[in-house]
Structure 1
Amino acid sequence: MMFMQNELPPLTAYSEEQRQTAMTKYHVIAPYLRSEKTLAVITVDTGIAKRTLQYWIRDYEQFGLKGLIRKTRSDAGKIHLDPEIVVAIEQLILKYRRNSLTSIH
């Protein structure tokens, strides 16, 4: 199922662990949202960087709890190599066929 860039799947589409992590983040920023604490106080209390808290607040205000769920990269698990490096590796493999890939690495 594809979602628009600004549209997130429903909370039920996420794992229980992801939802719990989002709730933990919410509980950290909730005192700020209720004007009970400043970000500086929350930073001292939790040890979480102020900028991180600002990101969480922005994401919560924009998307609700879904905004506090860590996004996965669309290219997760893929290895990124420059084309020149790929060519060099291929040449090494062809030149030294008897060597194992580990020794070439």
Structure 2
Amino acid sequence: MAAAKIKKGDNVVVRSGKDKGRTGTVLQVLPQEEKVVVSGVNVAARHRKPTQQNPQGGIDRREAPMHISKVSLADPKDGKATRVRFETVDGKKVRVAVKSGEKIDG
């Protein structure tokens, strides 16, 4: 399996779909399904009936998973979308933004 280019806690930019251009932080990565959950993006509304635990009922809004190919890492320098490459620095594998050359972690 290839190394993960997008990880939990990364700032990402949505590249396509109804939320194109929006940015957010990755809350969860689902590698088996090739999906990510991004804060404030792809918000789905569930209409809930009143129950004993929730007598009010109402509309439940939460972020739904979206395909990982729809998001790109935000460049640490300017916040725009960038690709990621891996480099070895001091014997450690480090993610690097292709656009600016900035280290993303490490």
TM-score using structure 2 length? 0.23
Q: Name the structure, 1 or 2, with higher relative contact order (CA <8 Å, separation 6+).
A: 1
Question: Which one has the bigger helix percentage?
Answer: 1
TM-score using structure 1 length? 0.23
- Highest Rg: 1 or 2? 1
Question: Which one has the bigger strand percentage?
Answer: 2
